[in-house]
Amino acid sequence: MRPTTVTALITTAVTAFCTLVYTGAQARDLEQIRSSGTLRVGMYKDFPPYSDAGSGIDVDLGKALADKLGVKVEVRTYEAGENMDDDLRNIVWKGNFLGLGPGPSDVMVHVPVDPGMGFRNPQVKIFAPYHRETMAVIRDTEKLQKLDAVTDIDKQALGVEEESIMSMALLSSNAGRLRNQVQHFRTTDAARQALEDGRIAGFFGLRSQVESMKAASSKPFSVSTPPPLPGLPQAGWALGLAVEVDQVELAKALEDAIAELARDGTLDRIFSQHAVTRMPPL
């Protein structure tokens, strides 16, 4: 048999398999969720303080949403994809191309509420903003006394998370002048240890990460807003929910649930329990 024929047969088999996977991964409506007794909540894996080993802000939020619908929560965690479009496809409306992972969830939490993202992903509905994420810096004020501008940084070593927006901002700032001073960390625990050991003068990241780092440290580090940096959204961005676009009734029930959780103080308590300040969306 010629190689081209073998390739064609393999391609056909893979396509057929993926079609079966996609066909079986239908979104559930509100009635089916209530009948099943569980709400499948999708979130990122290994993403403290939001999700880490079965605990975190997103986990508690999922439980609170399920409670408002009168069901139990089934937490589903996913590895982050190449971009948010991949994540919405894998977690909300289609599932992994090879059928890997838990399959689509009923709702995804921690979704940037952005009109452009909704336009690029017509298969999903993004709604119910409940928190505004911003950027922040945790620093040793003896090593980095002032941080109103990038020029306040002299030769101090700085920490950022790998492949993060803050990494790109710092590396491109001031014609790349800080490039040799930036150290990358895979986890915030490793970054906090480096800060406590004096190997870095400050860590630039999400305010949620920075606040939880400060709470976990016994040292009197300072938390502040970062100086203006290229490509950095100073006002932050809203986080909300996403469901499959046809699930109108489910979206309405979840939107009502978020409004009630904000009104009765539950959202603030969830964030506070993880040493993070909830910022109302603008």
Q: Where are the domains of the chain?
A: 27-94+102-132+237-273, 135-224
Give every strand in the sheet of 38-44, ordered side by side. 72-78, 38-44, 107-112, 237-244, 124-133
Question: Between vectors from CA 212 to CA 255 and to CA 236, what angle results, nearest 5°?
Answer: 50
Task: Evaluate the omega torsion of the peptide bond into residue 280 and state whether it is cis, within 30 degrees of 0.
Answer: no
**Residue 15 pLDDT exceeds 90:** no
Q: What is the pLDDT at residue 25?
A: 56
Lookup result for tokens 């993926």: 18
Using CA atoms, how far residue 162 sits from 10, 167, 178, 205, in Å, is 37, 7, 16, 10
Q: What is the pLDDT at residue 18?
A: 44
CATH of domain 27-94+102-132+237-273: 3.40.190.10
Q: What is the pLDDT at residue 208?
A: 97
Asked whether the CA dihedral 53, 56, 60, 62 is positive or negative, the reply is: negative
Instruction: Specify the 3-state DSSP secondary structure of 47.
Output: strand
125: part of which helix (H) or strand (E)? Answer: strand 124-133
Lookup result for tokens 């970062």: 226
Residue 135 one-letter amino acid: M
CATH topology identical between 27-94+102-132+237-273 and 135-224 = yes
Asked whether the CA dihedral 65, 70, 75, 78 is positive or negative, the reply is: negative
End-to-end CA distance of the chain: 63
CATH of domain 135-224: 3.40.190.10
What are the backbone dihedrals phi and psi of residue 121, each rounded to the nearest 5 degrees, phi first?
Answer: -125, 75
**Residue 86 pLDDT exceeds 60:** yes
pLDDT band at 261 (very low <50, low <70, confident <90, very high): very high
What is the distance between the alpha carbons of residues 186 and 208, in angstroms, rounded to a whole number? 16
Q: What is the pLDDT at residue 98?
A: 63
**Residue 117 pLDDT exceeds 90:** yes
Q: What is the pLDDT at residue 163?
A: 87
What is the distance between the alpha carbons of residues 12 and 134, in angstroms, rounded to a whole number? 46
**Residue 100 pLDDT exceeds 70:** no
Lookup result for tokens 């100073």: 234
Query: In the numeric block, which tokens belong to residue 81?
Result: 């994809």
DSSP β-ladder status, 222-224 and 135-139: antiparallel
